[in-house]
Structure formats: structure tokens, C-alpha cells
Structure 1
Amino acid sequence: MSIDYKEIGQRIAKRRKELGFKQYQVCEMIDVNYKYISNLETGRSAPSLELIMNLSDALRTTPDYFLVGTEKRRSIDKNMTDKICNLSQENKILLDGIIDVMLDKQK
């Protein structure tokens, strides 16, 4: 199995554009050179594992999206968990009731 850096770059560019970011903004988020991001997105440079991890955090996805083109559910689950952790205790109780109602309707 060979690694297609051009496809990885296309996924990076696609995700960046979906979020409305310019290349320079992503560079600032992950502390890399503008030319490097350009080279990644065109497949002229190969990203390190560390860079893939940093990009997945900055672009709110999972590393597997860039590497193989699929996004695992854990990204969504983690996002929801993070949001719930930031709720007040009162709102957590309210959310628990809402989830119960949704699950009952789903049956």
C-alpha cells in the first residue's frame, strides 16, 4: 500500500475550505510556514505524523480523515463530550431529560 500525498493534501485543502480558513490562518494555528501548507495541499511535501495530529485538531477532524478519507465518530462524540463538560450542573440535568425524550421518540 503506497501513500498518496496528493490525496492527503486535497483532503487538507478541502477541510480547510469547508471551515472557511485561509492557508495563512492554518499556518498560524499550527505554527508552520505558509509555503509548507501550500506544498502539503498540492502533494509536493509529505506531512509528518505530528503535523497530521496538529492539523486534525486545528481543522476539527480526525487524523484518519486526512490519511484514508474517513472520519471516525469519535470526533463527533468527543466534541459533544467537551461541550457537555462545560455545561452547568443544572443544564446537564436538563440535557439528560432532553436525551431521554429523544431516545423514547426513537423507539
Structure 2
Amino acid sequence: MIENFDGIGDRIAAKLEELKLKQTDVCKATGISKNAMSNYVGGNRVPDTLATYKLSKFLSVSIEWLLTGEENKNDSDSSLNDLHIVDRNLLEKIKQLSDEERKRIEYIIEGLLIGHELNDNKRGQSSESINGEEAATSETA
């Protein structure tokens, strides 16, 4: 059993290079501080549980791989792997854009998410209205 987690920083750095990302990209997306991220990559500090989880999700790797460099052979979910490939390709394309273009993409995504929230709220309100109307109709009858 591994008792220390040597190499976490090297694995994070290698994955960032593979994905053509910077430490600051991870910090912005995960909320991990720049100082903490620098310490993780530099091997000065092991990420806490929450940071390990956030890093594994953002980098599309298992927590086990992040901590040990080993993969559990039972964790092969092909649909999850396919999703990660799509995410990586999208990130690589976004990485090629200028800062201004990235900001536009961010606004577009935020707009889409707001649209989804509004549609969900409208659906909830319309079903409440229908139920309220049915109740009012049955009370007057």
C-alpha cells in the first residue's frame, strides 16, 4: 500500500501540458488558489480531499491516478471516457482562441444556461398554474 503520494505535481503538470492548459486555467475553473496550485505542481503540498476531487474532475482523471499514478482496472466506463475526449477537444479548441474570443464563448455559455433556467422556471410555473386552475374550477363546480 502506498503511504505517500509522490509525483502528484508531476502528474498534474503532465496533464496540463497534454491539455495545453495553464495552472491559472485550473484555478479559474475549480476555485483552487494560485498559491495552492503552485504548491501542488511543485510537489511542496498534497491537495486536500476537495482539491483532489476538483482536480480529478477538471483534468478528467481518476482520483486514484492523480494520487498514485495507477489506474483501477475496474473503472473503465467507456461512455465516461468518450465524454472526457469530447471535453478535451473542446478545451483544446477554446485554448486556441484569443482572450476576447474566450470571453465571448463564456458569455454565450452563460446565456444558454440562463435560458435553460428560465425555461425550467416557466415549465414549473405553467404546471402550477394548470393545477391551480383545475383546483379553482373544481371548487366552483
TM-score (norm: length of structure 2):
0.51
1:1-107 residue pairs with structure 2 within 5 A? 1-5=2-6, 7-72=7-72, 73-74=75-76, 76-80=78-82
Most deviating of 19-28 and 45-54: 45-54
- Would you say how many aligned residue pairs link Structure 1 and Structure 2? 82
Q: Displacement of 1:79 after TM fit?
A: 3.2
- Structure 1: gaps (5+ residues): 84-107
Unaligned runs of 5+ in 2: 86-141
Asked whether the 8 Å contact 2:8–2:67 carries over to 1, the reply is yes
1:65–1:71 contact (8 Å) kept in structure 2: yes
Q: From the CA coordinates, give the structure whose radius of gyration is larger.
A: 2
Deviates more, 1:7-16 or 1:64-73: 64-73
Question: Cα 1:75–1:53, aligned 2, differ >3 Å: closer, same or farther?
Answer: farther
Q: Deviations over 1:1-50 (max 9, x none)?
A: 43134x11111111111111101000011101112111101111121121
**RMSD of aligned C-alpha atoms?**
2.4
Equivalent AA in structure 2 for residue 71 of structure 1: E
Tell me if structure 2 keeps the 8 A contact 1:64–1:71. yes
- Per-residue CA deviations over 1:76-106 (Å, capped at 9, x if unaligned) read 44233799xxxxxxxxxxxxxxxxxxxxxxx
TM-score by length of structure 1 reads 0.65
Residue 74 of structure 1 and its aligned partner are, at CA, apart by: 2.7
Percent of aligned positions with the same letter in both sequences?
Answer: 27
